[in-house]
Chains A and B, each alone.
Chain A
Amino acid sequence: MCGIAGIYPFHTSADSHHLKTTLEHMLATLYHRGPDEGGMLLDKNFAMGMTRLSIIDLSGGQQPISNEQGDMWVVFNGEIFNFVELRTLLQKAGHRFSTHTDTEVIIHAYEEFGLNFVDHLNGQFAIAIWDSRARQLILARDRVGIRPLFYTEHNGSMYFASEMKALATANRFPLEIDFRGLSQIFTFWVNLPPRTIFRDIHELPPGHLMTVSDKGIAQYPYWNYRFPTDGIFPIRSRKHARTILREQLLEATRLRLRADVPVGAYLSGGLDSSLISAIVKQYFNDKLETFSLAFHNPHYDERPYQEQMAKHLGTRHHVVEINENDIAELFPMAVWHAEKPLLRTAPAPLFALSRLVREHHIKVVLTGEGADEIFAGYNIFKEDKIRRFWAKAPESEWRPMVLAKLYPYILQEKGSVSPFWKQFFRRHLTETDHPFYSHLLRWENGMHFSRFLAPDARIALTLEDHIEELWNLIPYEYSRWHPLNKAQFLEAALFMNGYLLSSQGDRMMMGNSVEGRFPYLDHRLIDFAAQLHPDLKLHGLTGKFILRQAFPELLPPEILNRPKQPYRAPIASVFLSQHTPEIIRELLQEDALKRFGYFNPAAVARLTQKLLQNPVPSARDEMAITFIVSLQILHWQFIEHFQPAMTIDMNKFKIVQMNHKEETNAVF
């Protein structure tokens, strides 16, 4: 696990000393991603480098690493889990290896397969390959977006890096908020790649390759979620599905334990992470250490389930308890790492959890991320199913009552659905042919947030305008997919990439130099799950049905049959209490709001007043205050007071200077 960065000047003759210094500054901002060592490759008119968190081949794995001739080099962030198998394959094809790393496998695979090399990788990665013969840079990002990669063009050069702060450091070019990106976050809760919250900074979309040469920049999709079309599902038998799932999940977990350092696991108390820990304990490692997040506030706490599971497994279990003040203290740090406005405070406690892992000298953890998307665990999938059922008889009194199984609070005392809730869920009820039927109600809620914006920060965009941009991400055959599969795609491509794997995943873990690994997101498992008949995933209203069936012997029934509990953290009490840190209070003051120019101070004052008076704040008001606080922090950290670390200890760096005259490479 690491941070990578690089500079490709187009057509210009860049000063090599300047390139090196700029790269050094960029890498300094990525130190937290790889505190163990680093490396640089310096060629004529090109530079790239990395900071390394050593996990595989601790002593021999320093990057950059080259092919046999030393004319192709790679730096990369992440893991190639099938590197052992690939290495054997490539050795048979005549490639000679000089390290035991997964990194070296990438460069030989590129030599062997060209741009198709990426199809052979099972992993989580952001890769940069410098092919000096062709003077071409190749960037690649893993299929579902586990590892980040951003790029920008500025003053005739192309810059790339694992985090946006490194791009801002290069040449000190000032960041600006992209108002279209801002409006997008209201709507979808995330940005649609390649757009980010910063103007002119782009995210390389998951499952994409990119080439950069003097001919310019080109992008190629190499993978996307694919589902069967027209209702033809290859796997319908429960028994068959269960057998394959057992094999695949064991294999995905086994590969993700490959490391030359100990691997721990998160235990949330839910089914998904409990099952992964149980598999590890049962099949692979009897000395597993597990880590859990507990909340002081019992409303959010899942400690009883976590403790039950840890006891059941007999792991060495560690817990960190978080209260409202901790969240407030950690929140600015969470924004610094997430690099985008947040609608929830939930990333902050996860920063404390990865810190706990680090304190116990563990660098790698397995988590249950991805199961809800690929096996359909979320309420939104059930809501979609129920509303489609209701839409067939819109006047039915009892059909909407099924919704109360998901949202018990919509029922009145006498047992019927509250008329206002009914009215809420009735919107667009019969538009079941709408391509985004499952998510339409949520996306429409975005309007609420724009009320807090200052006139200059508002742009007149409708939901239709945003949906037009969304179509760029939608696969060709989408319209022929089953409704459940469509909703699964939207959850995975939007919220999982843009929030769960990034703001709650990579960034909160790497902030403490901890690497997350996600067995459910093995692409073979994803492709398998896509073949399943929808009833095997959402069975009646039981989500993740086949997953619950697959390993019943490993889990206590209370965990196995537990309904999904969304992971949430307190909000209003965090930002508006007497313990709220000074910086957050200041950023909510009228002069800071006016100075930054995004928000209407009177509207923000009304909101905070309302939240202070209201003991049970509404969800959308809580999201609004989180959004306001986080954007204010983001501006303060990245625009008004941008002060990244500018130096890094180069003593631990491997510096490769390519020297074309002598056709050799001096390694210092």
Chain B
Amino acid sequence: MNQDVKTTIREFIVENFLFGDTSVVFDDDDSLMENGILDSTGILELVAFLEKEYGIRIANEEILPENMDTLNNLHRFLEKKMKLEQAS
């Protein structure tokens, strides 16, 4: 896990939800929902992407704002998730 996780997810978000619009500036701590970048269907698309990209399974109860609403949250969540997967 490294800084690239955030870059990868950021690229996915810009590509998939902003359709390449780079004029929308969002920081690693900005809420994706409140800034209108993700809608609720978008969350499911994001989950599908993360599962495929990182080979993990995300349970419904893990789909929470504290895990997914900012790039930093996503980073932390994935880090934890990958460690668990390695341990098991």
Interfacial residues, chain A to chain B (CB-CB below 8 A): 410, 412-414, 418-421, 423-424, 427, 444-445, 447-448, 451-452, 600, 602-604, 606-607, 610, 614, 616, 618-620
* A-contact bits for B1-25, CB 8 A (1 contact / 0 none): 0000000000000011011110010
B28 on the interface (CB 8 Å rule)? no
Q: Closest CB-CB distance, B46 to chain A, in whole Å?
A: 10
**Residue from B19, B24, B33, B39 whose CB has the most chain A CB atoms within 10 Å:** B19
Query: Contact partner of B63 among A410, A420, A614, CB < 8 A?
Result: A420
Q: Are B45 and A614 in contact (CB under 8 A)?
A: yes
CA distance A445 to B41 in the complex (A): 13
Instruction: Give chain B's interface secondary structure class.
Output: loop
Q: Are A618 and B42 in contact (CB under 8 A)?
A: yes
Closest chain A residue to B42, Cβ basis: A618
Given A413-B60, A423-B69: A451 in contact with B39 (beta carbons within 8 A): no
Q: Which chain B residues (23-53) contact chain A, with CB distance < 8 Å?
A: 24, 33-34, 36, 38-43, 45
Which 7 interchain pairs have the tightest Cβ spacing?
A618-B41, A603-B19, A451-B21, A606-B19, A420-B43, A419-B64, A447-B36
Q: Which chain B residues (53-83) contact chain A, with CB distance < 8 Å?
A: 60-61, 63-65, 68-69
CA distance A414 to B59 in the complex (A): 12
CA distance A419 to B33 in the complex (A): 11
CA distance A614 to B42 in the complex (A): 11
Q: Are B36 and A448 in contact (CB under 8 A)?
A: yes
CA distance A636 to B24 in the complex (A): 30
* Chain A residues in 8 Å Cβ range of B64: 419
* Chain A residues in 8 Å Cβ range of B36: 444-445, 447-448
Given A424-B39, A618-B42: A418 in contact with B19 (beta carbons within 8 A): no
User: 19 other contacts beyond A603-B21, A620-B41, with CB at 8 A cut-off?
Assistant: A414-B61, A419-B64, A419-B65, A420-B33, A420-B38, A420-B63, A420-B65, A423-B65, A423-B69, A424-B39, A448-B36, A451-B18, A602-B19, A604-B19, A607-B19, A610-B16, A616-B41, A618-B42, A619-B41
Q: Are A419 and B19 in contact (CB under 8 A)?
A: no
* Chain A residues in 8 Å Cβ range of B33: 420, 423-424
* Chain A residues in 8 Å Cβ range of B60: 412-413
Q: Are B15 and A606 in contact (CB under 8 A)?
A: yes
CA distance A410 to B60 in the complex (A): 12
* Chain A residues in 8 Å Cβ range of B18: 451
Query: Contact partner of A600 among B15, B20, B24, CB < 8 A?
Result: B20
CA distance A451 to B20 in the complex (A): 8
Q: Are B61 and A451 in contact (CB under 8 A)?
A: no
CA distance A602 to B19 in the complex (A): 8
Q: Closest CB-CB distance, A404 to chain B, in whole Å?
A: 13
Closest chain A residue to B24, Cβ basis: A451
CA distance A412 to B21 in the complex (A): 32
* Chain B residues in 8 Å Cβ range of A616: 41
Interfacial residues, chain B to chain A (CB-CB below 8 A): 15-16, 18-21, 24, 33-34, 36, 38-43, 45, 60-61, 63-65, 68-69
CA distance A427 to B65 in the complex (A): 14
Q: Are A427 and B34 in contact (CB under 8 A)?
A: yes
Q: Are B40 and A418 in contact (CB under 8 A)?
A: yes
CA distance A616 to B40 in the complex (A): 13
**Residue from B24, B34, B39, B61 whose CB has the most chain A CB atoms within 10 Å:** B39
**Residue from A412, A420, A606, A614 whose CB has the most chain B CB atoms within 10 Å:** A420
CA distance A412 to B68 in the complex (A): 16
Q: Are B40 and A424 in contact (CB under 8 A)?
A: yes
CA distance A620 to B15 in the complex (A): 16
* Chain A residues in 8 Å Cβ range of B61: 412, 414
* Chain B residues in 8 Å Cβ range of A452: 19
Q: Are B63 and A620 in contact (CB under 8 A)?
A: no
CA distance A604 to B21 in the complex (A): 11
* Chain B residues in 8 Å Cβ range of A414: 61
Q: Are A423 and B34 in contact (CB under 8 A)?
A: yes
**Residue from A410, A412, A451, A602 whose CB has the most chain B CB atoms within 10 Å:** A451
* Chain A residues in 8 Å Cβ range of B68: 420
| 16 A-B contacts (beta carbon < 8 Å) | A410-B40, A413-B60, A420-B43, A420-B63, A421-B40, A424-B39, A444-B36, A451-B19, A451-B21, A600-B21, A603-B19, A606-B19, A610-B16, A616-B41, A618-B41, A618-B42
* Chain A residues in 8 Å Cβ range of B40: 410, 418, 420-421, 424
Closest chain B residue to A610, Cβ basis: B16
Q: Are A603 and B63 in contact (CB under 8 A)?
A: no
* Chain B residues in 8 Å Cβ range of A606: 15-16, 19-20
* Chain B residues in 8 Å Cβ range of A419: 63-65
Closest chain B residue to A620, Cβ basis: B39
**Residue from B33, B38, B40, B68 whose CB has the most chain A CB atoms within 10 Å:** B40
Q: Closest CB-CB distance, A443 to chain B, in whole Å?
A: 11
* Chain A residues in 8 Å Cβ range of B63: 418-420
* Chain B residues in 8 Å Cβ range of A451: 18-19, 21, 24
* Chain B residues in 8 Å Cβ range of A444: 36
Q: Closest CB-CB distance, B88 to chain A, in whole Å?
A: 23
Q: Closest CB-CB distance, A609 to chain B, in whole Å?
A: 9
CA distance A618 to B45 in the complex (A): 9
CA distance A414 to B41 in the complex (A): 19
CA distance A424 to B41 in the complex (A): 11
CA distance A378 to B41 in the complex (A): 22
CA distance A3 to B40 in the complex (A): 45
Q: Are B39 and A618 in contact (CB under 8 A)?
A: yes
* Chain B residues in 8 Å Cβ range of A447: 36
* Chain A residues in 8 Å Cβ range of B15: 606
Q: Are A603 and B20 in contact (CB under 8 A)?
A: yes
CA distance A607 to B39 in the complex (A): 15
CA distance A656 to B60 in the complex (A): 74
Q: Closest CB-CB distance, B19 to chain A, in whole Å?
A: 4
CA distance A413 to B61 in the complex (A): 9
* Chain B residues in 8 Å Cβ range of A610: 16
* Chain B residues in 8 Å Cβ range of A600: 19-21
Q: Closest CB-CB distance, A70 to chain B, in whole Å?
A: 61
Q: Closest CB-CB distance, B16 to chain A, in whole Å?
A: 6
CA distance A420 to B61 in the complex (A): 11
CA distance A414 to B20 in the complex (A): 36
Q: Are B20 and A602 in contact (CB under 8 A)?
A: yes
* Chain B residues in 8 Å Cβ range of A413: 60
Q: Closest CB-CB distance, A80 to chain B, in whole Å?
A: 46
* Chain B residues in 8 Å Cβ range of A418: 40, 63
CA distance A604 to B20 in the complex (A): 10
CA distance A173 to B57 in the complex (A): 60
Closest chain B residue to A458, Cβ basis: B23
Closest chain A residue to B67, Cβ basis: A419
* Chain B residues in 8 Å Cβ range of A420: 33, 38, 40, 43, 63, 65, 68-69
CA distance A604 to B68 in the complex (A): 27
